[in-house]
Amino acid sequence: MRVEDWTEVGRMDELGRMDSPAHRLDARAKAVVTLAFIGFVASFPRHAISALTPFLLYPVVLIALGHIPVRPILKKILLAAPFVLVIGIFNPVMDRQPFATVGPFIVTGGWVSFVSIMFRFVLTVGAALALVACTGMYRLGAGMGQLGVPRVFVMQLLFLYRYLFVVADEGLKMMRGVELRSGGTRALRLGVYGSLIGHLLLRSMDRAERVYRAMVVRGFDGEIRILRQSSFRWTDWAFVCGCLSYFIVARIWNLANELGVLLTGITP
Amino acid sequence: MSHHIVEVRDLFFNYPDGTQALKGVSFRIEHGGAVALVGANGAGKSTLLLHLNGYLPAMRGVVRIGEVPLMRETVSMARRAVGMVFQDPDDQLFMPTVAEDVAFGPLNAGLKPDQVELMVATALERVGMAHVRARPPYRLSAGEKRAVAIATVLAMTPDILVMDEPSSNLDSRARRRLIELLRSFEHTRIIATHDLELVVEVCSRVIMLDRGTVVADGPAKEILSNEALMTAHGLECPHILRHLHPH
């Protein structure tokens, strides 16, 4: 992935400014539903896979309702995937108990839980990204504040988000400098990477300080205020109630299995 | 009492690493004046500007905005009165859209949304950037960013405009537009810059700093054409004055 791809963090803001049924929903409604969604997905046993599949519907519907292009969402999921991969990859090594047989192959519990972890990751990160893309980060922060989330937490989140831009921007400038002077080679000495990371940190801190200074001199007092505060309407209530009901049903019954039985008549 | 007056008396400031950035700086700027702060790199210009809205507290000495001494209790008043445009607009523009960025200050001042909308529209109109209100700031050109950065400050209806290197990174056309804009303001203007040609066109007075002290304070053309003074403090006379006074 090229360095420029990192700067696509701004793309989420652009998506957040679109107008669609999903964008018109109140930020609080979407935040509550997405949090509940993440809670439900995390609550399944570690070997669950098929029972999780009905939950794919929520991010897919949100993305479709929001007219969000899938590509940037997938790119960001892929970007975060290595971190989860590192966590999950030890499962097949640690858990070698046979779990199922597929033809001549024995599938161990470790592999099943690994797939389950990766699937949950795609679901939860996909839903969170869809939420940001359908709301915009600042509106989401304001909505969280209205929900009673402590101000300090909301601020940390918004600053973290803002600093993603700062780090990406500084990183981009540095990598351009490296590319221009590296004589075409992409493999640099380990020491150079160490120096680059150190400089990136220092430059980002410096830049973050200047951004904060600019906020303070324009009256920033620890609270982000936005121009358009939305109001909670009946469509938001319908969205919350409908989604939560669906999550409860999908958590109690394995809808994928039930559908399979209904269509094929074969009981697992 | 005019809110447009800026007075600095015997101001001292040291950075935590021990660098003495300001050493007894004093001046008074009257209502509506356009004053340039000039000096070589490290002269203390930016440090001085950060004192004018209370971002940096005076270690010794006094800063008065409209005759009110700047202290913890009066900082919010000073920040409403003194609008500051930073050197790099990328540091100043941090909201998702231009309109939201311009609205940031007025919203923090507690204004109602319809008032804020009006101020945003007026400020963007003033700098000729009404057409970019829905765009993300990072997609703008350097000149547009600079104009929007000025709008973010104008929306707070300040009495005093403080600018740090306003013409840096601008092409000729954007720089010319900026000069015309700065000339059209009736605010008290304090401009720290290395662009001495801009100073000749915009400012009537120059305060020259060197290593944290005021080394000259007077009419712009008189100071900027004094070759001996300029050279002694690491500066060059602007070409426009050389043509006027070749010797």
Which pLDDT belongs to residue A164? 80
Residue B114 reports pLDDT greater than 70: yes
Q: Do B113 and A136 touch (CB under 8 A)?
A: no
The A-side interface with B (CB below 8 A) comprises 10, 13-14, 16-17, 136-138, 162, 165, 169, 207, 210-211, 213-221, 225-229
ipTM, 2 dp? 0.78
Residue A150 reports pLDDT greater than 80: yes
Mutate to test the interface with B, among A18, A209, A218 (most CBs of B within 10 A): A218
Q: What is the mean pLDDT of residues B20-28?
A: 94
Mutate to test the interface with A, among B84, B101, B107 (most CBs of A within 10 A): B107
Measured between CA atoms, the residue of chain B closest to residue A223 is B108
Q: Is B57 helix (H, G, I), strand (E, B) or coil?
A: coil
Q: Do B136 and A207 touch (CB under 8 A)?
A: no
Q: In 3-state terms, chain A is what percent helix, strand and coil (to 5)?
A: 75, 5, 25
3-class SS string, A183-226: CCCCCCCHHHHHHHHHHHHHHHHHHHHHHHHHHHCCCCCCCCCC
Measured between CA atoms, the residue of chain A closest to residue B51 is A217
Q: Is A243 helix (H, G, I), strand (E, B) or coil?
A: helix
Alpha carbon of B205: minimum distance to chain A alpha carbons (Å): 26
Q: What is the pLDDT of residues A120-145, one digit of tens each?
A: 999 999 999 999 999 988 889 888 88
Q: What is the mean pLDDT of residues B84-90?
A: 89
Distance of CA A152 to the CA centre of its chain: 21
Chain B partners within 8 Å of A165 (Cβ): 138
Which pLDDT belongs to residue B200? 94
pLDDT tier at A92, thresholds 50, 70, 90: confident
Q: Do A210 and B88 touch (CB under 8 A)?
A: yes
Residue B151 and residue B103 in contact, taking contact as beta carbons nearer than 8 Å: no
Of A213, A219, A228, the CB nearest to B108: A219
Residue A29 reports pLDDT greater than 90: yes
Starting at the edge strand found earlier in the chain, the sheet holding B82-85 runs B82-85, B160-164, B188-192, B34-38, B205-210, B213-219
CA distances from B20 to A130, B37, B38, B191, B212 (A): 51, 18, 18, 22, 7
Residue B247 reports pLDDT greater than 70: no
pLDDT tier at A268, thresholds 50, 70, 90: low
Which pLDDT belongs to residue A102? 81
Q: Minimum mean pLDDT among A22-36, A43-57, A64-78, A155-169: which range?
A: A155-169
Q: Minimum mean pLDDT among A113-117, A168-172, A243-247: which range?
A: A168-172
Q: Minimum mean pLDDT among A3-12, A133-142, B164-173: which range?
A: A3-12
Q: Do B95 and A10 touch (CB under 8 A)?
A: no
Q: Please provide the average confidence, as pLDDT, over all residues in chain B.
A: 90
Which pLDDT belongs to residue A133? 93
Query: Quick one: what percent of chain B has pLDDT higher than 70?
Result: 97
Residue A189 and residue A196 in contact, taking contact as beta carbons nearer than 8 Å: no
Residue A98 reports pLDDT greater than 60: yes
pLDDT tier at A204, thresholds 50, 70, 90: confident
Which pLDDT belongs to residue B60? 93
Which pLDDT belongs to residue A178? 79
Q: What is the pLDDT of residues B51-83, one digit of tens each?
A: 998 888 889 999 999 888 998 888 888 888 899
Which pLDDT belongs to residue B2? 60
More confident residue, B176 or A224: B176
Residue B117 reports pLDDT greater than 80: yes
Segment of A87-101, A176-190, B59-73 carrying the highest mean pLDDT: B59-73
Chain A partners within 8 Å of B161 (Cβ): none
Query: Quick one: what percent of chain A has pLDDT higher than 90?
Result: 34
Q: Do A227 and B84 touch (CB under 8 A)?
A: no
Residue whose structure tokens are 């509106």: A139
Q: What is the dihedral of CA B85, B89, B92, B96, to 10 degrees?
A: 140
pLDDT tier at A1, thresholds 50, 70, 90: very low
DSSP string of A131-176, one letter each residue: HHHHH-HHHHHHHHHHTT--HHHHHHHHHHHHHHHHHHHHHHHHHH
Query: Quick one: what percent of chain A has pLDDT higher than 70?
Result: 93
Residue A2 reports pLDDT greater than 60: no
Pairwise CA distance, residues A101 & A99, whole Å? 7
Q: Do B94 and A136 touch (CB under 8 A)?
A: no
List the beta bridge partners of residue A1. Answer: none
pLDDT tier at A107, thresholds 50, 70, 90: confident
